């Protein structure tokens, strides 16, 4: 476990990871603290960067982003500024949920969210394949998401 975090900090992080809107009163009760010390700990965790923000879990199907495709990207070259150019431009494509630089047989792995397969096809042709340095892409339609998201447990930092 990190020297900066004690077991109460870890418990606070676990609880907030499950529900970031948890009122301080309820959070304090769950971690066995009074309100003021609990609030001070949360503020410290925010100030030191352990908590970087709060968000809502959205129903992406209702928001026309329920179709997921994973795309492997190979660049024509990876030297000079090729990786930087690609990384900068890929950030502007709103349909790309995740972009990871990969060590292996290809250079990047993208997770793309669209309305449906025809929408994905348009995004692939109009945006992804026009990113700088693209040599080849391989796309894989996701049939079912079994697990999505990381849940923090104190065991992760021991």
pLDDT in tens, 75-134: 999 988 999 999 999 999 999 999 999 999 999 999 999 999 999 999 999 999 999 999
Q: Is the pLDDT of residue 41 over 70?
A: yes
CATH for 7-56 (1.10.10.60, 3.40.630.30, 3.30.70.141, 1.10.10.10): 1.10.10.10
- Which residues lie closer than 8 Å to 45 by C-beta, 6 or more apart? 9, 12, 13, 51
Q: Is the pLDDT of residue 152 over 60?
A: yes
pTM for the structure as a whole? 0.85
């Amino acid at each position: 476990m990190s020297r900066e975090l004690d077991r109460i900090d870890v418990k606070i992080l676990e609880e907030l990871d499950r529900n970031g809107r948890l009122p301080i009163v309820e959070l304090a009760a769950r971690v066995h603290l009074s309100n003021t010390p609990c609030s001070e700990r949360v503020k410290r965790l925010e100030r030191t960067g352990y908590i970087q923000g709060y968000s809502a879990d959205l129903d992406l199907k209702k928001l026309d982003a329920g179709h997921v495709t994973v795309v492997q990207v190979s660049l024509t070259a990876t030297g000079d500024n090729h990786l930087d150019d690609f990384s900068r431009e890929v950030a502007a494509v709103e349909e790309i949920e995740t972009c990871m630089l990969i060590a292996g047989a290809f250079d990047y792995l993208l997770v793309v969210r669209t309305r449906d397969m025809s929408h994905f096809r348009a995004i692939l042709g109009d945006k992804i394949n026009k990113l700088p340095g693209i040599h080849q892409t391989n796309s894989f339609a996701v049939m079912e998401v079994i697990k999505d998201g990381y849940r923090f447990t104190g065991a992760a930092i021991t």
